[in-house]
Amino acid sequence: MPTNEFQTFIKRYPAYAETESIDALRANEYARLDRAKHIYLDYTGGGVYAESQIQKHHQLLSANVYGNPHSSNPTSLAATRLVESARAYILKFFNADPNEYLAVFTANASGALKLIGESYPFSNGRYLLTFDNHNSVNGIREFAHARGAEVTYIPIMLPDMRVDVSQLDLELARLSERGHNLFAYPAQSNFSSVKHPLEWIEKARARGWDVLLDAAAYAPTSKLDLSEVHPDFVPISFYKIFGYPTGLGALLARKSALAKLHRPWFAGGTITVASVQGDKYYLADGVAAFEDGTLDYLNIPAIEIGLKHIEAIGYDVIGERVKTLTGWLLENLTQMKHSNGAPLVRVFGPTVNEGRGGAVTVNFYDQNGKVFDHRFIESEANKVNISLRTGCFCNPGAGEVALGISRVELDVCFTQSGHEDRLSVDDFRLCIDGKSTGAVRISVGMVTNFNDTQAFLAFAKGLLR
């Protein structure tokens, strides 16, 4: 029998009923979640794989023999066919014209971003990025600094943590005329879950910028159609979309953008000819120049299996499931009050579904307005088998804005004696005395159900006094 809470939920979010195919999918493909009584709410951190993904991959490996693709023997050619099939399917999945885009295999989205950072022609150029980028995007600034480029951050504004668009327009209009210009932003923030407009891509490119769109948090629940938008670089981690395999990602790059990259070294597999005596090397063409060493050729076929799994479910169904459950979480969490009327949570990011994804980032407060340490919340959640994420989620810019940590406080912290070369997390907490240094992220995903959200809401209610 449906509970009163579920009946209320369905009245508020009737579209949830249109996603019932996911409940059957969960029962057949993800039954281990319920068998082990897992409340998994860290989909922004990593997806959960289906049993059929593992079975199909195992069947493929157990029925065939595959060898290193850097050869032309029968087992090598068999592996090459699977690798190239997966590469083509990635482009198909993102509706990317193979005449315009290439797919470079990497270890993950961070590996794809490092490829850009080490190879982009930053000299005399500009690197423009939003405050709420992942650290792997922030890290590119070190390559930019080293080559004399100007690095500029665009602020995000409370309470919704959206970008100051007027500032963005001003900076996009200010190009370096002497070098190349790269603009980087997340399609969806992994901290606030804000979805930034994909229209910025063409706006920036029309003014002469190359655009790096970080789709790692966006692609698991939203369709990225590269026939409609045309970023120059798109880093992807596949485990975030469908859970398995880990250790594989891709850089989707426009051919004209990839041609601008100049690698600082060469490796096995990236050259046509290299000489010891002649002290010379010649890079291979296209993707081969960027795929160092031997590809993970036994796991790459699992990418195509995973992409087909997502296609069979459909982004429309996945998106609706995430949207309805996120709305329910936001609605209930923001209404929770202590007995004296003090709110239990503060949401960092939009409190409505419009223009956001499925991660709800909050901090919890007692009846006196004192914040609960995010590590305490995680510890308590662990006791009831709830998997969530706490900290700043490798997104320091968003965390600093959300938690009210100022530039002055950071400057004092970073220049204190003993912190010039190394700063531990505990040292940092001492520097920012009296302020929280992290938050709690609850992220719903493809096979989250109503019972999962209710279990978390019951946990949250246990903090009320």
Query: DSSP assignment of 127-169, as one string?
Result: EEEETT--HHHHTHHHHHHHTT-EEEEEPEETTTTEE-HHHHH
Q: In sequence order, what are the beta bridge partners of 234? A: 252
Main-chain dihedrals φ then ψ at residue 323, nearest 5 degrees: -65, -45
- From residue 329, alpha-carbon distances to 31, 94, 128, 176 in Å are 23, 30, 34, 45
Longest dimension (CA), the chain: 80
Q: Is the separation of the CB atoms in 261 and 254 below 8 Å?
A: no
What's the N-to-C CA distance of the chain in angstroms? 31
Ramachandran sector of residue 195 (left: φ over 0; alpha: ψ -120 to 50; beta: rest): beta
Query: What is the rounded distance in angstroms from the CA atom of residue 24 to the CA atom of residue 15?
Result: 17
Query: What is the rounded distance in angstroms from the CA atom of residue 235 to the CA atom of residue 219?
Result: 10
Query: DSSP assignment of 396-424, as one string?
Result: HHHHHHHHT--HHHHHHHHHSTT-SS---
Q: Which residues of 7-42 are buried (b: 16+ CB within 10 A; e: fewer)?
A: eebeeebeebeebeebeebbeebbeebeeeeebbbb
Cα-trace Rg, the chain: 23
Among residues 255, 261, 234, 231, the alpha carbon closest in space to that of 120 is found at 261
Main-chain dihedrals φ then ψ at residue 440, nearest 5 degrees: -115, 125
Query: What is the rounded distance in angstroms from the CA atom of residue 243 to the CA atom of residue 176?
Result: 41
Query: What is the rounded distance in angstroms from the CA atom of residue 56 to the CA atom of residue 48?
Result: 16
User: Which residue of the set 392, 394, 413, 431 is catalytic?
Assistant: 394
Annotated catalytic, 394?
A: yes
Q: Report the catalytic residues.
A: 394
